[in-house]
Amino acid sequence: MAKITGRDALLRKMAKLPSAVRSAIKQALAEGADQITEAQKRAAPVKSGKLRDSIVQTWGGMGGPKHASLKVSEGAGDPDLTVTISAGNSGTRYAHLVEFGTSAHTITSDKPMGKNGIFGTVVHHPGAAPHPFFYPVYRANRRSVKARISRATRKAAQAVAAGGQ
């Protein structure tokens, strides 16, 4: 029977690998989410600041707002290693309208509208041009964030293999 040298040391290193790699991935993911969130806030058009302030990160699965909003999430993987970036909240339900714009349309109301509160008021809305601030920033930063996570994973695995923590 052949004798395997260093087997116990290898098994100890393999046991440390998951926690070291998970920690490195979480740190890299947090840095990447901060990078994307800050860039989206800088790119958001500012009228009152509500839209900019509604851009947030939510950790732990498919969290975030449940109303009209924009979201970026890479599926429902490990909740500890999942962050959702969203724009829009219960007080700011127009993030998608700013991002994609609106076409010209007519608004007819069966409720009182305007200064005089007239029923059946017809308003012609000219539409609004799109002001993309959310998805273009995400797409521009996605590759660098993935590369950061890959580097952190590789570095953590090499540190464990070298006997470090």
Series of mean pLDDT values for 10-residue runs along the chain (165 residues) = 63 72 89 95 94 90 62 65 86 91 86 66 87 94 92 87 69
Which tokens hold the place of 141?
Answer: 């930063």
pLDDT of residue 1: 45
Please indicate, yes or no, if residue 37 is contained in any of the structural domains: yes
pLDDT of residue 80: 78
Tally of domains in the chain: 1
CA pair distance 94, 100, nearest whole angstrom: 10
Please indicate, yes or no, if residue 108 is contained in any of the structural domains: no
Please indicate, yes or no, if residue 80 is contained in any of the structural domains: yes
Q: Domain range holding 77?
A: 17-101+130-154
Indicate if the alpha-carbon torsion angle 52, 130, 93, 122 is positive or negative. Answer: positive
Which tokens hold the place of 54?
Answer: 């509604």
Q: From 39, 69, 66, 35, select the one nearest 54 (Cα to Cα).
A: 69
Please indicate, yes or no, if residue 116 is contained in any of the structural domains: no
pLDDT of residue 82: 82
Please indicate, yes or no, if residue 84 is contained in any of the structural domains: yes
Please indicate, yes or no, if residue 75 is contained in any of the structural domains: yes
Please indicate, yes or no, if residue 40 is contained in any of the structural domains: yes
